[in-house]
Structure 1
């Protein structure tokens, strides 16, 4: 019989797991954007989303992939930030009405300057110049872009150019851009050095950052803006803010909004979604690494019982909103950071209502045994809604019983007064 335990703790597990349910229920009609998502990198959970897998023109959010590949080449030692390259005729593919640094063939410029131009100026000539330097030519670099997108699990994405020009077959999604943004931050956090700059000057031309929130909110440090007529106004936004939790002193969130109607609107929508998520969700550690969660009997082994322990901390995002109606973003007050419902302020919950249901996948093990095996599955619920399944995997190495141990086990089997009651699996209470 399978054994379960339910735990009301405002916590979760770590090993492996995928989120399948939004944490906050937001009325999409109250968000003036064609597609959007709020992503929590610490837990890997989507807090809320709308049309997040719809394939849309990403515009200059495309340049995050150019930056990702460039920083990857730098980390691998194949490129140096201070390397000086000479701009060539590739800059002529950039049309006069496109955002650019106004590079001209024969001009000298460093990789570092090109990265600033790419991110702050959103310069298309910086994008194609980096693409040609890394890929040899634009088609080879575009193939690299799609290869990297596939490796990152960006299943809604296909690139046809490095600058984000609207073309048939050039598309991505809010969810995929959140994945790309998270990969940039996790693998190459120095990207934020560029994306948090409020302006950049090259060759006596100054461009002020189109992400106006880097000036308005000190916690915002990127990621990228984008605009074409086909795409509308897009924004990938991230911020890092302190928490009251000593186990997790800082918390980062990523918001992507696509298809808004103005640069002010994209900033307002993204900022409101981000502030709502910070105020009405929080991250908590469900189980600490190496904390025992269960014991199961071992047959024919040198040890009699095996203790199941998660190998790492598991972080979970929990909802602090528990009203029966969907959130209307028009009722969110930016100044206070609070929602209003029927004229009454809705305070974030002080306690979370999370249930963890632990199911043992193995009731016992038999030695010898040497493999990585899933020993348990944890079902996580919030407010009676299933959120995710988490697999608890252990590298199990069990040596067979010694000759003396096997002899003693045989004695206990044949002599009734030595027999012991079968020892069932045990699940420990978690605190």
Structure 2
């Protein structure tokens, strides 16, 4: 890595995108394309049949790397590589930029062909597109049915352009931060996999020494454990939404949770309040989403009014965190208990009849304690990631405008 030096720019010129170093150019997006006609290539629908197949570049594939479908290449111009800049052209997230991956351009995407004679660095343009162009495009989509990008706004959007050497130096800094973010993301994913494996082990083998096991309706468990219906060890309260005229966001009355939207990793975060609570979840109750999506759980860290998208499980003969983690593990089974033709929902009787394991209370608490410990590590990694994202945003604000200049020492 080359050594870089930073210094503060004194002379800035105001533009629509903000103040930019006077030594930089500010150009329109169309200025770096090969031309208006051939600089934008629209994708096509997936094509089935025989022949060499490539990953079809859906948004999910670009975000997660999970290939859901493949397509035959019928036009070489639709082949995408890692040095292509893509834009989601239509749909609810229209206006979002992506770096390309090997595959075939989907029908909702476009890719750009840049003028190789221009002194531009691909990664620098990507960072500029994310910072300066994407917010404008997402706020100016048009169309009465499916929203799509306004082409004129795209082509006329402004981006700053420093000398090529400085573009590359800026990219080096931002990529270093991106690499750190990726490392932390991978750590989080690894920890989550470990947590899932531990939950499978703890809820079938326990954490204390057990020599004998038995088969039950919920699987193999230690001989000393019981199996019981949830309704026998907890009181279930189905939510009921108060009149909308009682809602407020000023903190007046009791915190109100309508559904999963307010859930966090363990505890919810309210955004609304009500002056006429109807159904109340007590502190320590397990909260469960009973309308699509079914099965997500949290723990009430205070008293909440709960709407019809939630139920409260007030524990009587079971540790609340033990139950929280067990229901979290069994989310798929809970979803299978749901019903409804319009949207999925789970009934109170299904929750009451849901079978759970019951180790001695000391072992319940120990299982919950061990899972809490790994959750704390995961939460710390998430905070570290959020901190790095804030650093990156600040660095983009400074470096992509030339407010802080950068060069090789």
Q: Which has the higher strand share?
A: 1
Q: Which has the higher helix share?
A: 2
TM > 0.5: no
* TM-score using structure 1 length: 0.25
